[in-house]
């Protein structure tokens, strides 16, 4: 078995180590004896989605998102069809915002891919802190770090998780991210997957089943250390009170 992973615009969208998510995909496949090929797609390059099994769209500054927006117009149709065909996507922060209709910054309106029926609007108070989610998809909490000026309004979409600690989509501390078909879109940087191997395996499983049939199962790995780290973070933030009052005020 083999998975082809596409890392989109890593020269522009790679804030806070989003690239680590690729390493995690690669390593957890390698440990199971499953082949993996990672292709980086830079500005101006053509993308044939028919040969792709997983897409990573990372985060970026508003300026970088503006540049990427022009690239996305060229691949919009192919990307939309890939998602409609159950293609697996991990979109982080700026990448999450770009899956929606638009991201309105303080100076510009950046058009998105219109894959998700969501929109994002910038506010001067930046939302940055550790964040912990409880997701219906997993028994184990999802831990990470958020850092965004945008507030994302997800309408009727299913959120990725309920915020246990942190601020989330709109800064209200209620919900975070979106799950849609085989897409996980989230504000969690970190990078997300090395801290949350259960999320990594969920996406790998979806990609393998899409390619090789529903009966593909992933061999379990020894995640004792990752589990310990997860429990430590959850315990550390379990008694923090009302996090909304702790919001750090900072301007971009």
| Alpha-carbon distance values, 134 to 27, 106, 144, 162 (Å) | 25, 32, 12, 5
- 212, two tokens: 């090789």
The residue from 7, 148, 157, 189 that is catalytic is: 189
Applying CB under 6 A, which residues contact ligand GLN? 15, 59-62, 65, 93-94, 147-150
Question: Looking at beta carbons only, is 14 or 230 nearer to ligand GLN?
Answer: 14
Residue among 173 and 210 whose Cβ is closer to ligand GLN? 173
Q: How far is the CB of 249 from ligand GLN (least distance, A)?
A: 15
- Give every CB contact of residue 6 below 8 A, 6+ residues apart in sequence: 38, 39, 41, 47, 52, 54, 55, 56
Is residue 166 within 8 A of residue 134, CB to CB? The reply is no
* 65/196 with CB nearer ligand GLN: 65
Q: How far apart are the first and last CA of the chain?
A: 45
Strand (E) or helix (H) holding 94 = helix 94-98
Q: Find the residue with minimal CB distance to ligand GLN.
A: 59
Active site residue 93: yes
- As measured in angstroms, the least distance from the Cβ of 89 to ligand GLN is 15
Which residue in the list 24, 36, 69, 93 is annotated as catalytic? 93
3-state secondary structure of 165: strand
Q: 59 or 87, CB closer to ligand GLN?
A: 59
- Nearest approach, Cβ of 41 to ligand GLN (angstroms)? 18
| 23: DSSP letter | H
Q: How far is the CB of 90 from ligand GLN (least distance, A)?
A: 13
Would you please indicate which residues are annotated as catalytic (active-site) residues?
93, 189
């Amino acid at each position: 078995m083999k998975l082809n992973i596409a890392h989109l615009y890593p020269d522009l969208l790679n804030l806070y180590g989003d690239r680590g998510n690729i390493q995690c995909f690669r390593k957890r496949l390698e440990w199971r004896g499953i082949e993996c090929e990672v292709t980086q797609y830079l500005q101006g390059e053509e993308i044939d989605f028919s040969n792709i099994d997983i897409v990573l769209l990372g985060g970026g500054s508003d300026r970088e998102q503006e540049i990427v927006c022009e690239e996305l117009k060229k691949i919009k149709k192919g990307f939309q069809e890939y998602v409609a065909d159950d293609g697996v996507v991990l979109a982080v922060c700026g990448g999450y915002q770009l899956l929606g209709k638009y991201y309105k910054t303080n100076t510009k309106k950046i058009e998105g891919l219109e894959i998700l029926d969501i929109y994002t609007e910038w506010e001067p108070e930046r939302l940055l802190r550790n964040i912990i989610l409880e997701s219906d998809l997993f028994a184990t909490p999802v831990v990470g770090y958020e850092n965004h000026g945008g507030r994302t309004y997800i309408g009727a979409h299913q959120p990725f998780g309920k915020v246990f600690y942190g601020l989330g989509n709109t800064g209200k501390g209620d919900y975070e991210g979106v799950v849609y078909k085989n897409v996980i879109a989230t504000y969690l940087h970190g990078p997300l997957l090395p801290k949350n191997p259960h999320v990594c395996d969920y996406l790998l499983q979806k990609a393998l089943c899409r390619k090789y049939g529903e009966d593909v199962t992933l061999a379990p790995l020894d995640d004792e250390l990752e589990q310990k780290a997860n429990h430590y973070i959850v315990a550390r933030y379990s008694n923090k009170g009302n996090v909304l009052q702790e919001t750090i005020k900072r301007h971009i």
